[in-house]
C-alpha cells in the first residue's frame, strides 16, 4: 500500500476504513519548545513562537497530527470570563482568583468572544498560522473545555464538588453558561480550520466523581458539544483523564467519534465494551513512561497497545494524557517508531 500523508491516514481511519498503518498522535504541545529553544512562558504571548514550536515538533518527530494548544483551553476561557490569572516564571498560568464567588455571580458572567476576549486571540492566531502551514497535509486537533471542568475553573473545584451535593441549581446554572462558552470557542476553532475538536473534561474524571454525578452534570453537556462539533463539520473527540473505566459506556454514549483514554484504563476492556462505537486513542503513561522511562520501554509498551487493540483499525496510538514539557524527545520518537514497525496494515 502506498504511504499516506498524516491527513489521509487519520481521515481514512475516521471514515471507518483501514489506513496504511496505525496513526500515532502523542498529545504533545509545549514539549515542542525543547526543539526551538523558546521558553515555555515566553511563548505564551507569541502565536508565532508557539506555532513555530508546534510545527517543528511535528516535522522533526513525524507524528500524525498537531495539537494546536499551548496552555489548557479551560484556563484560557476562565481568564476570558473574568478569572484573575497567576503567571509563574517557569510554569503555565493558573487561575488565582475565581470569578464566581457566590451563586449570584453566575448572572454576571459574559460569554467570551474567541476573537477579542482575554488571550483567546493569541490562540486563534496560532491556529491560523499552523493551518496555513500544513493545511490538507497534517490534521489539527484543538481542545475545548468540558463544561463541568470549565465550571470548576470559574467557581473553584472545591465549590463545584460541594455544590453537586448541596446546591444543584447553582451548578446547573453555571454549567449552562460554561457550555455556551465552550461551544462558541469550539466553533471558532472549527471555522479557523481545526479538524478534530477535543472536549477535555478532566474534572469529570472517574477518579474524582461517581458515574451518577458524571451522568447528571457532565455527560449531557459533553453530548451537546459533540453534536455541535459534528454539525459544524468537524470530528469530535472526548478526553477525560484518570480512571474512567466505570464510565466507558457513558462516554461513548455522547456520540464522540474518538475516545481518548488515560493509562489507568485497560485498552482491552475498553475495546470489548465500547470498541464498536468509538475509535480508541491512548494510552501510554505520561510520567512513568514518557517522562522518566527509556525509549526501549516506550517502544515495548506502544507495541503492546497496538497488538492488543490496534489490529483492526479503530485505534490511534497516543499518550494517556498531555505529554510533560520535559519528556525526552527520544521517547516521542520511540512511539512513532513503534507505530511504523508494529502498526502496518498493508
Partner 1 sequence: MGNDIVDQIRVAMIDCQTDQVLELVPKAIDKGIVASEIVNRGLTAGIRVLGDRFEKGEAFLPELAVAAETMKQALDFLEPHLAKSVDEEALGTIVIGTVQGDIHDIGKSIVATMLTVAGFTVHDLGVEVTPAQFIAKTKAVNADIIAMSALLTTTMDRMQETIDLLKSEKLDTRVKIMVGGAPVSQQFADSIGADAYGVDFNQAVKIAKRLTGHSND
Q: Which residues bind partner 1 (CB under 8 A)?
A: 40, 86, 88-92, 94-96, 157-158, 161-162, 164-166, 207-210, 213, 241-243, 246, 286-288, 291-292, 322, 324-326
Instruction: Give the alpha-carbon dihedral of 246, 321, 67, 93, to 10 degrees.
Output: 110
Q: Could you say which DSSP state residue 217 is in?
A: I
Q: What's the order of all strands across the beta sheet hosting 66-67?
A: 66-67, 140-145, 196-200, 235-239, 258-260, 279-284, 315-319
At closest approach, how far in Å is the CB of 209 from partner 1?
Answer: 5
The residue (of 144 and 164) whose beta carbon lies closer to partner 1 is 164
At closest approach, how far in Å is the CB of 153 from partner 1?
Answer: 11
| Contact between 317 and 339 (Cβ < 8 Å) | yes
Helices marked H in the chain — which ranges? 6-14, 33-36, 47-61, 73-80, 120-134, 147-155, 157-166, 168-191, 211-213, 219-231, 248-252, 267-274, 295-309, 329-342
Burial class (CB in 10 A: 0-12, 13-18, 19+), 147: buried
At closest approach, how far in Å is the CB of 281 from partner 1?
Answer: 19
The residue (of 163 and 317) whose beta carbon lies closer to partner 1 is 163
Q: With helix as H, strand as E and coil as C, how does 81-107 read?
A: CCCEEECCCCCCCEEEECCCCCHHHHH
At closest approach, how far in Å is the CB of 253 from partner 1?
Answer: 20
The residue (of 9 and 49) whose beta carbon lies closer to partner 1 is 49
The residue (of 189 and 244) whose beta carbon lies closer to partner 1 is 244
At closest approach, how far in Å is the CB of 162 from partner 1?
Answer: 5
At closest approach, how far in Å is the CB of 49 from partner 1?
Answer: 18
The residue (of 189 and 203) whose beta carbon lies closer to partner 1 is 203
- Residue 279 phi/psi, 5-degree rounding, is -90, 125
| Contact between 264 and 287 (Cβ < 8 Å) | no
The residue (of 82 and 139) whose beta carbon lies closer to partner 1 is 82
At closest approach, how far in Å is the CB of 17 from partner 1?
Answer: 35
* Helix, strand, or coil (residue 205): coil
The residue (of 207 and 231) whose beta carbon lies closer to partner 1 is 207
Amino acid at each position: 500500500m502506498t504511504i499516506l500523508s498524516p491527513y489521509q491516514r487519520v481521515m481514512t481511519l475516521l471514515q471507518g476504513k483501514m489506513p496504511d498503518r496505525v496513526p500515532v498522535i502523542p498529545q504533545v504541545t509545549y514539549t515542542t519548545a525543547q526543539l526551538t529553544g523558546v521558553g515555555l512562558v515566553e511563548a505564551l504571548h507569541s502565536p508565532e513562537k508557539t506555532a513555530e514550536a508546534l510545527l517543528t515538533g511535528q516535522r522533526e518527530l513525524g507524528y500524525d497530527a498537531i495539537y494546536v494548544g499551548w496552555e489548557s483551553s479551560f484556563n484560557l476561557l476562565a481568564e476570558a470570563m473574568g478569572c484573575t490569572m497567576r503567571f509563574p516564571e517557569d510554569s503555565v498560568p493558573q487561575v488565582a482568583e475565581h470569578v464566581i464567588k457566590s451563586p449570584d455571580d453566575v448572572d454576571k458572567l459574559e460569554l467570551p468572544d474567541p476573537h477579542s476576549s482575554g488571550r483567546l486571540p493569541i490562540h486563534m492566531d496560532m491556529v491560523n498560522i499552523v493551518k496555513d502551514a500544513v493545511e490538507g497535509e497534517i490534521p489539527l486537533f484543538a481542545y475545548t473545555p468540558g463544561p463541568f471542568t470549565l465550571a470548576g475553573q470559574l467557581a473553584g473545584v472545591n465549590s463545584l464538588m460541594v455544590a453537586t451535593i448541596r446546591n444543584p441549581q447553582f451548578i446547573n446554572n453555571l454549567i449552562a453558561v460554561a457550555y455556551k462558552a465552550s461551544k462558541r470557542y469550539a466553533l471558532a476553532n472549527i471555522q479557523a480550520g481545526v479538524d478534530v475538536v477535543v472536549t477535555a473534561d478532566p474534572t469529570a474524571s472517574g477518579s474524582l466523581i461517581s458515574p451518577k454525578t458524571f451522568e447528571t452534570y457532565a455527560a449531557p453537556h459533553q453530548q451537546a458539544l459533540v453534536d455541535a462539533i459534528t454539525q459544524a463539520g468537524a470530528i469530535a473527540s472526548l478526553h477525560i483523564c484518570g480512571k474512567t473505566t466505570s464510565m466507558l459506556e457513558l462516554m461513548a454514549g455522547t456520540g464522540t467519534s474518538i475516545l481518548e483514554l488515560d493509562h489507568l484504563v485497560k485498552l482491552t476492556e475498553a475495546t470489548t465494551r465500547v470498541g464498536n462505537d468509538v475509535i480508541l486513542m491512548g494510552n501510554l503513561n505520561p510520567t512513568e513512561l514518557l517522562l522518566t522511562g527509556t525509549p526501549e520501554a516506550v517502544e515495548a509498551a506502544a507495541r503492546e497497545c497496538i497488538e492488543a487493540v490496534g489490529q483492526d483499525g479503530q485505534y490511534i496510538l497516543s499518550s494517556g494524557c498531555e505529554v510533560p514539557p520535559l519528556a525526552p524527545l527520544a521517547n516521542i520518537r520511540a512511539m512513532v517508531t513503534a507505530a511504523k514497525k508494529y502498526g502496518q496494515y498493508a
